[in-house]
Homo-oligomer: A and B are copies of this chain.
């Protein structure tokens, strides 16, 4: 465990060390709390954990009291530390989708919108980002061009109707950001983001999906939006720029996912290592069998490579670049490396690995979704192949 008061640390490293101690000693014991359900920790547990974080000055630790967002490079060790428990990001309020929503509002919202919506999130209020649409209706899954939720102007209001799915945290959220198609009159079509208070009778949660992951409060909802009226001043940023803002949100959000899951898989690796170093089979400790030791060696490599990729992409974002390709590369590499890490941890632990005696089973399940959330690997590879082509043309 880190020593949270070591000298010679940067302020960000100091925060990360404190978060690590908090998550390992205070949060981790709640992993067996019966309020951890299949649709994520219940609201009561979320409030209790956030209270504990608030007491220690560790709530929303990557955004300073004056509203300054730490650099992406400085955020990395903090979110990794938070991720050491599946409950950690929720506890210190750096979980998806809130973390990404706070980042987006910090960049795009007006002062009034910040005062009304962002501050609630900074203090631990929950939010949702309503973009993805049901596949069975050929709505916008990985391909936002297929969006079928529309907003039409009506006086100084807009009226939104459509259906969204896989909306993380919609159940229990106080703030929603809704993405809807709007018509700028140029025949091209566009999308706009709207800030709304939740719950609202016009935003009906049809059901909570049962999913392979279980760490996100409120789970993932199917939401019907039926003639929701929103005043024009609740447009986030400017109208018709929704796809642009989605990109603003996406690149860093992709990266913070990597940071949190790196923490989760680091912990899983520690648990598997401890298991392998204690347990005997066939006359030796497991770790002394090359078949097991090699898996843990490969974990070392995958974890280190993930960390290096994250730090590299974070520096690219901090330099002011969009970082679309760099975060795509990192997302693909890290989500696949961590899937391998979690898979090896399960295998090292045998039957214990597929049971919920430890969090390894949960980490394994959750990290599977990471290869899909925020763009499946195939979409990122497709976009990277386009970049290869584009760069080649530029070099001719």
Contact = CB atoms under 8 A, between A and B. Distances in A.
Given A141-B281, A300-B329, A378-B292, A287 B385 contact: yes
A213 interface: yes
Q: How large is the interface on A (under 10, 10 to 19, 20 to 34, 35 or more residues)?
A: 35 or more
Nearest to A360: B212
A392 B277 contact: yes
Interface stretch (A12-20, A234-242, A347-355): A347-355
Contact of A312 (B304, B361, B376): B304
B354 A368 contact: yes
A243 to B, nearest CB: 15
Contacts of A369: 354
Interface in A87-114: none
23 contacts: A135-B279, A138-B279, A138-B280, A143-B280, A165-B351, A211-B354, A211-B361, A220-B355, A282-B382, A287-B388, A287-B389, A289-B382, A290-B290, A291-B381, A292-B378, A293-B381, A293-B382, A293-B385, A294-B381, A294-B385, A297-B332, A346-B368, A351-B372
B289 A378 contact: yes
Contacts of A135: 275, 279, 350-352
Contacts of A297: 332, 380-382, 384-385, 388
Interface of A: 132, 135, 138, 141-143, 145-146, 165-166, 209-213, 220, 273-277, 279-282, 285, 287-294, 296-298, 300-301, 304-305, 308-309, 312, 329, 332-333, 343, 346-347, 350-357, 361, 364-365, 368-369, 371-373, 376-378, 380-382, 384-389, 392-393
A221 to B, nearest CB: 11
Nearest to A377: B347
Contacts of A389: 277, 285, 287-288, 293
A122 B250 CA distance: 51
A301 B353 contact: no
A392 B135 CA distance: 19
The 9 nearest A-B residue pairs measured at CB: A293-B385, A297-B384, A290-B290, A210-B356, A291-B378, A308-B308, A143-B281, A297-B381, A290-B291
A332 B301 CA distance: 8
A64 to B, nearest CB: 29
B292 A305 contact: no
A352 B145 CA distance: 19
A70 to B, nearest CB: 22
Contacts of A304: 309, 312, 329
Nearest to A357: B209
A354 B382 contact: no
B296 A388 contact: yes
Contacts of A273: 388, 392
